[in-house]
């Protein structure tokens, strides 16, 4: 049985706390490995390594730092298939989906190779008489990321790449449910030339999280997970004087206008609603057909598609999606389906009793589809995070627009229509951070920023894109004047540029 410890000072080290947790293989319910759960002392050891290594790395010019990222990309591509298989076995998503997880992370690494340009400051000659003003971006020092189980490659890379490109040292606390890929990525960074101590991985639970939040040498923390935990981390980090960006839950709507291409719409709902067993913060979980006729056409086409979804083990190339990540997650999602029935929603497709032959101990569930869901129901208000899609019928466009706008969460939303005016109006008025027009999962490309609104995000700056470089740097502004421009005598009024 593999024993997974931590990655500190450029190498794997055994856990010292004496506490471990099983790493499961969701497709068959077997134990793959044991992962150590770090103590506060082990977190501090990682921080001390990072703190010692960071000054030299921060003084390294951005182009040399970018070359490490280039080499890292080369090494990952050589191990792409092995990494995807490991990710799939620990998480449960299909291998094809795991490859997408890795690829979306690598795209941010590619963007961060532009660090020499993105780190540039500004310069103004003669801002005042004999005065020049310029600014420079400098690293924060030691920063940290706390990342979720559902994207064990993508989200860590979204945080590691810009942080180290800016000259910081990084402490990663990945999900203890699927730690294998983050550990291997850390090894590949060192193999690519990253100095020992610049990237440390501590596996753990709340004890490790709190140690990160309370450590005075960690200057910034990034988090992705549920909204209650995002609020907790944001509040505790802020109370300790840290910069924080915390991303929480979602309830993503897809609005279907009467003129939408229904076949295209159903394809979008099937992929975005049920891919990765719905364990995505950008999964579509609410379909909003506008008008009775639109709703009836949607149901007619959607029901047989949901009924025909193929659920299978992660290694089945023909499977549409695999198992959920844990037995607890499976029971939680089933509980929400039970609740929806109790609340009066109409369960059109029931996947609760799905069993995978030969994998009876796996955490499988078939696709579920509710109709006649209303905004008062908990299955509408709360994030289910499973293969469950709810249809909420709207009488007109304005009612459809109000649903995502008035919802507690504001991560992503989409509208499917052939009407450019409707799409433009929707994009301008909807109170949600990321909008898709005939695109069901509007995750921005790497050189734009990713981030929701309302209870889906806490903090002023988003993930990846230019915001990441702002988050992981501090701006220093210098105003200079040389003796030849100095006037005689003291000045007792506030300096101005007149």
Domain CATH number, residue 226: 3.40.605.10
| pLDDT, position 130 | 85
| pLDDT, position 498 | 63
Q: Do 244 and 233 contact (CB within 8 A), yes or no?
A: yes
Please determine, for residue 457, whether its predicted confidence score (pLDDT) is greater than 80. yes
Q: Are residues 211 and 261 in the same domain?
A: no
User: Among 384, 407, 437, which residue terminates a domain?
Assistant: 437
483 — pLDDT class (breaks 50, 70, 90): confident
Q: Are residues 204 and 64 in the same domain?
A: yes
Q: Are residues 175 and 271 in the same domain?
A: no
For 50-76, the pLDDT digits (tens) are: 999 999 999 999 999 999 999 999 999
Average pLDDT of the segment spanning 82-87: 98
| pLDDT, position 497 | 62
Q: Are residues 157 and 275 in the same domain?
A: no
Please determine, for residue 439, whether its predicted confidence score (pLDDT) is greater than 70. yes
Which CATH number belongs to the domain containing residue 325 in this structure?
Answer: 3.40.309.10
Q: Which domain holds residue 322?
A: 252-437
Is residue 430 one of the residues assigned to a domain?
Answer: yes
Q: What is the 3-state secondary structure (H, E, C) of 64-104?
A: HHHHHHHHHHHHHHHCHHHHHHHHHHHHCCCHHHHHHHHHH
| pLDDT, position 365 | 97
Q: Are residues 185 and 269 in the same domain?
A: no
For 126-156, the pLDDT digits (tens) are: 998 889 999 999 999 999 999 999 999 999 9
Is residue 487 one of the residues assigned to a domain?
Answer: no
Per the structure, the count of domains in the chain is: 2
Q: Are residues 223 and 265 in the same domain?
A: no
Would you tell me how many other CB atoms lie within 10 Å of the CB of residue 454? Answer: 18
Is residue 347 one of the residues assigned to a domain?
Answer: yes
Please determine, for residue 277, whether its predicted confidence score (pLDDT) is greater than 90. yes
| pLDDT, position 488 | 64
- Cα–Cα distance list, 396 to 60, 374, 400, 404 (Å): 58, 15, 6, 14
Q: Are residues 232 and 260 in the same domain?
A: no
Is residue 345 one of the residues assigned to a domain?
Answer: yes
Q: Are residues 421 and 460 in the same domain?
A: no
Report the mean per-residue pLDDT for the chain. Answer: 96
Q: How far apart are CA 92 and CA 24, in angstroms?
A: 10
Q: How many residues does the chain have?
A: 498
Dihedral of CA 274/107/383/399: which sign? negative
| pLDDT, position 391 | 98
| pLDDT, position 495 | 72
CA–CA–CA angle 88, 159, 443 (5° rounding): 70
Q: How far apart are CA 446 and CA 463, in angstroms?
A: 9
Q: Are residues 417 and 468 in the same domain?
A: no
Q: Are residues 67 and 38 in the same domain?
A: yes
Task: Please state, for a pLDDT cut of 70, what percent of the chain lies above it.
Answer: 99
Q: How far apart are CA 165 and CA 187, in angstroms?
A: 17
pTM, full prediction: 0.95
For residue 446, give the nearest of 138, 189, 199, 154 by alpha carbon: 154
Please determine, for residue 485, whether its predicted confidence score (pLDDT) is greater than 60. no
Q: Are residues 325 and 370 in the same domain?
A: yes
Which residues are annotated as catalytic?
Answer: 281
Average pLDDT of the segment spanning 186-195: 98
Q: What is the 3-state secondary structure (H, E, C) of 406-432?
A: HCCEECEEEEECCCHHHHHHHHHHCCC
Widest CA span of the chain, in angstroms? Answer: 90
């Amino acid at each position: 049985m593999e024993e997974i410890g931590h990655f500190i000072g450029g190498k794997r080290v055994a856990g010292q706390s004496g506490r471990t947790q099983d790493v499961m293989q969701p497709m068959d319910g077997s134990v793959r490995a044991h992962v150590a759960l770090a103590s506060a002392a082990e977190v501090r050891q990682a921080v001390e390594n990072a703190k010692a290594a960071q000054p030299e790395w921060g003084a390294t010019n951005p182009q040399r730092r970018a070359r490490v990222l280039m080499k890292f990309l080369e090494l990952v591509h050589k191990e792409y298939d092995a990494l995807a298989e490991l990710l799939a076995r620990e998480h449960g998503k299909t291998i094809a989906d795991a490859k997408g997880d890795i690829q979306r992370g690598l795209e941010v690494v590619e963007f961060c190779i532009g660090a020499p340009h993105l780190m540039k400051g500004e310069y103004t000659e003669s801002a005042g008489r004999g005065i020049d003003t310029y600014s420079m971006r400098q690293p924060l020092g030691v920063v940290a990321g706390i990342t979720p189980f559902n994207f064990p490659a993508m989200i860590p890379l979204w945080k590691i790449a810009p942080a180290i490109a800016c000259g910081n040292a990084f402490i990663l606390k990945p999900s203890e449910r699927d730690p294998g890929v983050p550990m291997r990525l850390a090894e590949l960074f060192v193999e690519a030339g990253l100095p020992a101590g610049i990237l440390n991985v501590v596996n753990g639970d709340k004890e490790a999280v709190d140690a990160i939040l309370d450590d005075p040498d960690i200057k910034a923390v990034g988090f992705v997970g549920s909204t209650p935990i995002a609020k907790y981390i944001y509040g505790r980090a802020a109370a300790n004087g840290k910069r924080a960006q915390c991303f929480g839950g979602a309830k993503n709507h897809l609005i279907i206008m009467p003129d939408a291409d229904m076949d295209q719409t159903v394809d979008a709902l099937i992929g975005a609603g049920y891919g990765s067993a719905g364990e995505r913060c950008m999964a579509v979980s609410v379909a909003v057909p506008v008008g009775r006729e639109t709703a009836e056409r949607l149901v007619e086409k959607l029901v047989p598609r949901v009924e025909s979804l193929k659920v299978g083990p992660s290694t089945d190339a023909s499977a549409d999606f695999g198992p959920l990540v844990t037995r607890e997650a499976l029971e939680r999602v089933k509980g929400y389906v039970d609740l929806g029935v109790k609340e009066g929603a109409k369960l059109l497709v029931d996947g609760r009793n799905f069993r995978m032959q030969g994998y009876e101990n796996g955490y499988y569930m078939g696709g579920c589809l509710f109709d006649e869901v209303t905004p008062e129901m908990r299955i509408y208000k709360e994030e289910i995070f499973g293969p469950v899609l709810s249809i909420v019928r709207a009488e007109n466009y304005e009612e459809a627009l109000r649903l995502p706008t008035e919802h507690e969460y504001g991560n992503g939303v989409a509208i499917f229509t052939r009407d450019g005016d409707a799409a433009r109006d929707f994009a301008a008025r909807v109170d949600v951070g990321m909008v898709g027009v005939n695109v069901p999962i509007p995750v921005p490309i790497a050189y734009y920023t990713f981030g929701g609104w309302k209870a889906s995000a806490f903090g002023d700056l988003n993930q990846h894109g230019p915001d990441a470089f702002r988050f992981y740097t501090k701006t220093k502004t210098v105003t200079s004047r040389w003796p030849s421009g100095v006037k005689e005598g003291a000045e007792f009024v506030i300096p101005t540029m007149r």
